[in-house]
Chain A
Amino acid sequence: MFEATQINRKNLGREKISRFVLGGMTAILILPVILIMSTLIYKGAPVISFDFLFTNPTNGMTQGGIFPALLGTILLVIVALLASVPLGVAAAIYLSEYAPDNWFTRAINLAIINLAGVPSIVHALFGLGAFVIFFRFGTSILAASLTLAIMTLPVVIVATRESLQAVPMAFREACWNMGATRWQTIRRIVLPNAVTGILTGVILEVSRTAGETAPIMFTGAVFFLPFLPQGVFDQTMALSLHLFVVSTQVPEMPEAVPYGVALVLISLVLLMNSVSIALRMYLRGKKKW
């Protein structure tokens, strides 16, 4: 009695087709990337070894390991975090707990969005003009890290702000009614319940910072350094820059080396992102209210 009418059948058919087409588009988007990853692993794996990761390069970078570059990236990330996390968390606390709903706050939010959208090479120019030249830090870890910090500040601010805003207003009001100051409320109730979310944002920032090349190219990272950096005013090697140079500017480079470097870099980045995602999923399970 309720057989599909002709129109119904046509519509259902259309739905099946659209589902198929859209699913296909999704697959097409993801497939090339899977292929690329496989190629990277296939061609880069032969080079990867304990030595590759932990010894110095030799023979004009065509042999040996990438340890200084790996170390350099870690150093840059740490210094950038030291600069951006306190600042970013403070900014997010302001936006979430204090900022009134007016044009000034909207301007701040606009500035954050724009900061995130500025091209990386423009950040590099800024780092050069401001930190290397104007503040006279010279090309150094400090200049490069500060450039990176400003570039990735939005990531920390947004992640922190969202975690803070996820804490229900009722908790704050209960504390205020008891005579707690805003800071006491933030310190005892709001921040502790936002820490995991903040951590997620920080890990995300780390992964972005580690992969950037342009901002550090002219502010403190170099391709070849005969010794490891001793302090923040020294230059350093970096994984991302290393990949750029070995794949474009070194003649007689064995094919596997750039693949190996790329593999290390992408593994690092994907690993950190996965940790961040896992943390977020863990958070969702641990409800405290």
Chain B
Amino acid sequence: MNNKQTPAAGAASDFDRLNRDWYIDKAVQTLVFLGGISAIIFIIGIFVFISKEGLGFLVGDFSFKEFFFSQNWRPTSENKVTYGILALIAGTASVTGLAMLIAIPFSLGTAIFIAEFATGKTREFLKITVELLAAIPSVVWGFIGLAMMNPLIIDIFDVPVGLNVLNAGIILGLMAAPIMTSIAEDALKAVPDRYREAAEAMGATRWQVIYKVVLPAAKNGLLGAVLLGVGRGFGETMAVLMATGHAINIPTSVFDSVRALTATIAAELGETAVGSPHYKALFTIGISLFVITFVINLVADLVVRGVKKG
């Protein structure tokens, strides 16, 4: 028998050529990779650039204690220029706090209603409405606070000024609620149906199923929604600028006017000279905001993915 075993015709070089398709594929691979890392580049870039501009302040006029713990923000004072942001922090915190107080229960309630009770067309309608609500621009909300809530508050509560913590808190609450509702609803939908079915098989009513089974199972996602809302509250600029009034002080009642960190930058940046201490101080506030929201987003992401911190 002829046992000649030779490799078949059509040897290596026949198909193993690096042709145009091969090169194009490699080029695309590089291009999309560059696109992929662009997000990292930008985040790092943002931090680098705002730190760069604020650096002078941090090493020069900066007194850590005074910056964070003094409530005297007087960059344009004629006698003594001080850069204390405590009052600004209080402004942001009070407005965000009130906003969350309003937004959390309502967005959670709405999310539960949409995810667990509403069906068919009603659910579609509600989801679309929530989505449209979330799209309203910040400056429009600020205008609403200014033009509509302001006189309303003055009328109803009989106070002299309607631009205050209450105004901005309600506005911010209405702004944050749709987004929190969406995320909370996603978290509730993510709970597998078999959990619900198992509970129903044991005779639980709808509400019992929700309260005892669904909510605990979704608590990570719900916590994430809350954190995201807080993050948005801290970072919101225009609405807060327009609705809080202009007084820089630590509020003692919801009817006090305050100033937020974000609003301060927006209000004063246009009037500072590039490179001046005031300019750098504003950038330093920017760095603080970046760090705060970065941490909040980081925690929210970890929580939502089920890995608890600490």
A interface list, Cβ under 8 A from B? 11-12, 14-15, 18-19, 21-23, 25-26, 28-30, 32-33, 36, 39-40, 87-95, 97-99, 107-108, 110-115, 117-126, 128-130, 133-134, 150, 153-154, 157, 181-184, 186, 207-208, 210-214, 217-218, 240-241, 243-244, 247-248, 258-259, 262, 265-266, 269-270, 273-274, 277
Inter-chain contact total with CB atoms closer than 8 Å? 265
Which 8 residue pairs are nearest across A and B when measured between Cβ atoms? A211-B137, A90-B35, A119-B235, A25-B109, A94-B36, A181-B25, A94-B32, A91-B35
Which of B5-27 touch A at CB < 8 Å?
21-22, 24-25
- B128 in contact with A277 (CB, 8 Å): yes
Decide: A266 near B113, CB < 8 A? Known: A98-B33, A117-B297: no
- B137 in contact with A114 (CB, 8 Å): no
Residues in A whose Cβ lies below 8 Å from that of B50: 122, 125-126, 129
Interface membership of B67, Cβ < 8 A: no
Provide 29 A-B residue pairs closer than 8 Å at the C-beta atoms, listed in order of the A residue.
A14-B208, A18-B207, A21-B109, A22-B110, A23-B117, A25-B106, A32-B174, A97-B32, A113-B301, A115-B39, A118-B46, A120-B262, A122-B50, A122-B289, A124-B269, A126-B46, A129-B52, A133-B274, A181-B22, A184-B21, A211-B135, A214-B266, A244-B139, A244-B143, A247-B142, A269-B136, A269-B137, A270-B132, A270-B136
Interface membership of B221, Cβ < 8 A: no
- A15 in contact with B206 (CB, 8 Å): yes
How many angstroms from the CA of A134 to the CA of B270 in the assembled complex?
18
Residues in A whose Cβ lies below 8 Å from that of B181: 29
Residues in B whose Cβ lies below 8 Å from that of A118: 43, 46, 235, 290, 293-294
- A15 in contact with B205 (CB, 8 Å): yes
Query: Closest chain A residue to B113 by CB distance?
Result: A22
Q: How far is the CB of A89 from chain B (nearest CB, A)?
A: 8
Which of B21-71 touch A at CB < 8 Å?
21-22, 24-25, 28-29, 31-40, 42-43, 45-46, 49-50, 52-53
How many angstroms from the CA of A22 to the CA of B106 in the assembled complex?
9
Q: Which of B81-89, B191-199, B236-244, B247-255 contacts A (4 or more CB under 8 A)?
A: B236-244
How many angstroms from the CA of A262 to the CA of B140 in the assembled complex?
6
How many angstroms from the CA of A115 to the CA of B106 in the assembled complex?
27
Q: Is the interface of A mostly helix, strand, loop or mixed?
A: helix
- B49 in contact with A126 (CB, 8 Å): yes
How many angstroms from the CA of A73 to the CA of B179 in the assembled complex?
25
Q: How far is the CB of A117 from chain B (nearest CB, A)?
A: 4
B interface list, Cβ under 8 A from A? 21-22, 24-25, 28-29, 31-40, 42-43, 45-46, 49-50, 52-53, 105-107, 109-110, 112-114, 117, 126, 128-129, 131-133, 135-140, 142-144, 146-148, 174, 177, 181, 205-208, 210, 228, 231-232, 234-238, 242, 262, 265-266, 269-270, 274, 282-283, 286, 289-290, 293-294, 296-298, 301
How many angstroms from the CA of A93 to the CA of B30 in the assembled complex?
11
Residues in A whose Cβ lies below 8 Å from that of B131: 273, 277
Decide: A207 near B238, CB < 8 A? Known: A121-B262, A122-B50: no
- A121 in contact with B132 (CB, 8 Å): no
Query: Closest chain A residue to B25 by CB distance?
Result: A181
